Amino acid sequence: MQKKNIEPADGTRILIVRLSAIGDVLHATAVTHNLKRIYPNCHLTWLVSPPADSLLKNNPDIDELLVWDRRIIDKAFARKKLGTVLHCLKEAKALLAAHEFDIALDIQGLFLSGILTKLSGAPRRIGIHERHEGNFLFMSEMAPDTSEPHKIRRYMTALEPLGITADKFQPGLVLTLTDSQRAWAKEFWQDHGIELGNKSRPLLLVNTRTTWPDKNWPARNFGLALRQLAPPVQIVFTGAPNDVPYIKEAQQELGRPSLSIAGETNLSELAALFAEADLLLTGDTGPLYIAEAVGLTTLSLWGPTHPSIYGPLTAGHHFILSPHNCTACCKTKCRHKTNACMNAISPAIVAKELISLLK
pLDDT, position 4: 63
On whether residue 21 sits in a domain, the answer given is yes
Average pLDDT of the chain, as a whole number? 95
pLDDT over 90 (residue 316): yes
pLDDT in tens, 324-344: 988 889 888 888 888 899 999
pLDDT in tens, 123-147: 999 999 987 779 999 999 999 999 9
Phi-psi region of 121 (alpha: psi -120 to 50; beta: other; left: phi over 0): left
Mark whether 161 and 227 lie in a shared domain. no
Given 118, 139, 168, the domain boundary residue is 168
Mark whether 233 and 126 lie in a shared domain. no
- What number is the average pLDDT over the span 220-226? 98
Burial of 286 (0-12, 13-18, 19+ CB in 10 A): buried
Given 141, 168, 195, the domain boundary residue is 168
- What number is the average pLDDT over the span 45-53? 97
pLDDT in tens, 175-203: 999 999 999 999 999 999 999 999 999 99
Mark whether 304 and 263 lie in a shared domain. yes
CB 145 within 8 A of CB 157: yes
Instruction: Identify the sign of the CA torsion 16, 21, 25, 28.
Output: negative
Confidence of residue 2 (pLDDT cuts 50, 70, 90): low
Confidence of residue 1 (pLDDT cuts 50, 70, 90): low
* Cα–Cα distance for residue pair 147/81, rounded to 1 Å: 39
On whether residue 7 sits in a domain, the answer given is no
Mark whether 201 and 56 lie in a shared domain. no
pLDDT, position 3: 59
pLDDT in tens, 9-41: 899 999 999 999 999 999 999 999 999 999 999
Count of domains forming the chain: 2
pLDDT, position 331: 85
Residue 160: partners with Cβ closer than 8 Å, 6 or more residues away: 5, 143, 144, 166
Domain membership of residue 80 as a residue range: 13-168
On whether residue 6 sits in a domain, the answer given is no
Confidence of residue 7 (pLDDT cuts 50, 70, 90): confident
pTM (two decimals): 0.95
Mark whether 195 and 69 lie in a shared domain. no
